[in-house]
């Protein structure tokens, strides 16, 4: 039997939706929202009924009756820290998603549970979220930062990384919960970590944490020099945060993070561009080596995913530096809609038990 699942992934000015019959896509669509239309609601959570209507309208346009669905899956937003998996949407979860106190803000992805729950309730079918960004499976030792006032936190590309890890497990012929892997998600930020027996036991924070520099972000920096920047009077806190998260990395060195342009310059023999690009690959590879130590050398595979995994120069350089550790598998792009739908399908098929929030 095939199970039909609707996946919903809200962003600030768009809502991605997809319907899958098991692993087969029925349709995938991105609904664009006029910022003025969105702003009239006054808050993020208040948008869910409006977006729900657009989702149902898109389903009609694609000849998918709502009553053919077996489950609805929303993007997991900023819920409390929890282990990875598929979670039933419940009142406690939605109360937390409405409250900015825990994470200091409410993100558009928080809408996923509300839209999923509303559609599912009308149809008397289950609503789920899958692998939110707040997935936390860290070993306690990985939380140590070096000073008692700061604890390292788990915040990473959980949805795509855990989905891709399941595919990698199939490709190497081992059960996911018996695999040791080094995942590398490469986009505007770069996440590198350690998966032990299917659990993400350590990972750098790709926004403002440790790890390699990326197309837009600074990664780890020398602390003394960073303190000097903070007190230089050149930037406000907001401006410096913006620089380190959106104007650093390749943008800082090259003035661009355009992957196509960078590939063309390397092909043309631009040594300066190649040097900076190689330095990013060097830092990614160095981070992979660090997580090989976390796994004590017992590594089944390294896998590369995200948009940068389409870059042949980057893939070749990382393979050159790290393939002695373990085989390097490549899964370009992000598969978030597939990841959401498959989380629901696994529960419906009894392959995985839905978790209680």
Give the span between the Cα atoms of 5 and 340, in whole angstroms: 9
Which has the closest alpha carbon to 212: 308, 295, 137?
A: 308
pLDDT band at 21; cut points 50, 70, 90? very high
pLDDT band at 94; cut points 50, 70, 90? very high
Mean pLDDT (whole number) for 53-82: 95
Give tens-digit pLDDT for 195-226: 999 999 999 988 887 899 999 999 999 999 99
**Structure confidence at residue 263 (pLDDT):** 95
**Structure confidence at residue 260 (pLDDT):** 94
Place of tokens 């915040």: 155
* Sheet containing 301-306, strands listed edge to edge, beginning at the edge strand earlier in sequence: 199-203, 190-196, 180-186, 301-306, 328-332
Mean pLDDT (whole number) for 100-105: 79
| Least confident span in 68-72, 105-109, 256-260, 320-324 | 105-109
Mean pLDDT (whole number) for 277-293: 98
**Structure confidence at residue 156 (pLDDT):** 86
**Structure confidence at residue 157 (pLDDT):** 87
* Bridge partners for 7 per DSSP: 18, 73
**Structure confidence at residue 241 (pLDDT):** 94
Give the span between the Cα atoms of 87 and 72, in whole angstroms: 12
Give the span between the Cα atoms of 240 and 236, in whole angstroms: 6
Per-residue pLDDT for 312 more than 90? yes
Backbone angles phi, psi at 7, to 5 degrees: -110, 140
* DSSP state letter for 97: H
The total number of residues shown for the chain amounts to 357
**Structure confidence at residue 114 (pLDDT):** 95
Mean pLDDT (whole number) for 311-332: 98
Name the average pLDDT for the chain.
Answer: 95
Backbone angles phi, psi at 41, to 5 degrees: -80, -15
Q: Which residue has the higher pLDDT, 157 or 290?
A: 290
The torsion defined by the Cα of 88, 92, 93 and 98, in degrees rounded to 10, comes to 150
Structural domains in the chain?
A: 4-134+337-348 (3.30.420.40), 173-326 (3.30.420.40)
**Structure confidence at residue 288 (pLDDT):** 98
């Amino acid at each position: 039997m095939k199970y039909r699942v609707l996946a919903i992934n809200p962003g600030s000015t768009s809502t991605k939706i997809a319907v899958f019959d098991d692993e087969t896509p029925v349709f995938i669509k991105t609904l664009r929202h006029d910022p003025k239309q969105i702003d009239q609601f006054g808050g993020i959570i208040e948008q869910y009924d409006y977006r729900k209507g657009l989702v149902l309208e898109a389903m009609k346009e694609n000849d998918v009756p709502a009553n053919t669905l077996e489950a609805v899956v929303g993007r997991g937003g900023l819920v409390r820290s929890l282990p990875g998996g598929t979670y039933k949407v419940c009142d406690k979860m939605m109360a937390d998603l409405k409250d900015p106190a825990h994470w200091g803000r409410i993100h558009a992805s928080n809408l996923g549970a509300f839209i999923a729950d509303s559609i599912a309730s009308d149809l008397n079918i289950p609503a789920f979220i899958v692998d939110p960004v707040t997935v936390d499976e860290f070993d306690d030792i990985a939380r140590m930062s070096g000073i008692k006032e700061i604890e390292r936190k788990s915040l990473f590309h959980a949805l795509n990384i855990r989905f891709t890890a399941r595919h990698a497990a199939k490709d190497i012929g081992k059960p996911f919960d018996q695999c040791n892997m080094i995942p590398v998600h490469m986009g505007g930020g770069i996440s590198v970590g350690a998966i032990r027996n299917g659990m993400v036991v350590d990972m750098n924070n790709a926004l403002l944490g440790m790890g390699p520099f990326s197309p837009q972000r600074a990664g780890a920096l020398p602390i003394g020099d960073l303190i000097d920047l903070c007190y230089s009077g050149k930037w406000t806190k907001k401006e410096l945060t913006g620089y380190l998260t959106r104007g650093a990395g390749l943008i800082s060195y090259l003035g661009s993070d355009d992957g196509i342009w960078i590939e063309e310059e390397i092909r043309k023999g631009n040594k300066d561009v190649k040097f900076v690009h190689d330095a990013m690959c060097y830092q990614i590879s160095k981070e992979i080596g660090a997580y090989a130590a976390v796994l004590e050398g017992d590594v089944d595979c390294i896998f590369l995913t995200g948009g940068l995994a389409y870059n042949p120069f980057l893939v070749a350089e990382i393979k050159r530096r790290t393939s002695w550790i373990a085989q390097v598998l490549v899964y370009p792009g992000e598969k978030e809609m597939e990841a959401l739908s498959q989380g629901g399908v696994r529960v419906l098929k009894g392959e995985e038990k839905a978790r209680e929030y």
